[in-house]
Amino acid sequence: MLKNNFALRREENIIHLTYKDIVMLKKEIIYRNPLLNLGYEHEDILPNGGLGAVLAHAGVGKTALLVQLALNMMIREESVMHVSLQDAVSKVDLWYHELFHNIAGNFSEAEIKEYWDKIQPYRFIMTFRVESFSVPTLEERLTDLMQQNIFKPHTVIIDGLKFDEAGRGQLVLLKELAKKYAMRIWFTVHEHLNEKPAENGLPVSFQHVTDLFDVIVQLEAKGEDVYIKALKGKSSNAKPQTLLLDPATMLIKDGK
Task: From residue 171, give the alpha-carbon distance in Å to each of 12, 45, 52, 178.
Answer: 52, 19, 11, 10
Q: Which residue has the higher pLDDT, 253 or 85?
A: 85
| Contact call for residues 230 and 219 (beta carbons, < 8 A) | no
Between 251 and 217, whose confidence is greater? 217
With a pLDDT cut of 90, the percent of the chain lying above it is 45
**How far apart are the C-alpha atoms of 44 and 195, rounded to whole Å?**
31
Range of lowest pLDDT (1-10, 58-67, 103-112, 166-175): 1-10
Domains of the chain, earliest start first: 9-254 (3.40.50.300)
In sequence order, what DSSP letters do the residues of 232-254 get, joined into one string? ES--TTPPP--EEE-TTT--EEE
**Which runs of E-coded beta strand occur in the chain?**
9-11, 14-16, 51-56, 80-84, 123-127, 155-159, 184-190, 215-222, 225-232, 243-245, 252-254
State yes or no: pLDDT of 26 exceeds 70. no
Residue 188: phi and psi, rounded to 5, are: -90, 140
- What is the Cα 120 distance to its own chain's centre? 14
Q: List, for residues 90-100, the tens digit of each pLDDT value.
A: 999 999 999 99
Q: What pLDDT digit, counting tens, does each position of 171-214 carry?
A: 999 999 999 999 999 999 988 877 777 777 788 778 889 999 99
Distance CA 168, CA 188 (A): 16
- pLDDT value, residue 166: 62
Q: Is the pLDDT of residue 162 over 50?
A: yes
Q: What is the pLDDT confidence band of residue 5, given thresholds at 50, 70 and 90?
A: very low
Which of 217, 247, 194, 208 is closest to 37 using CA atoms? 217
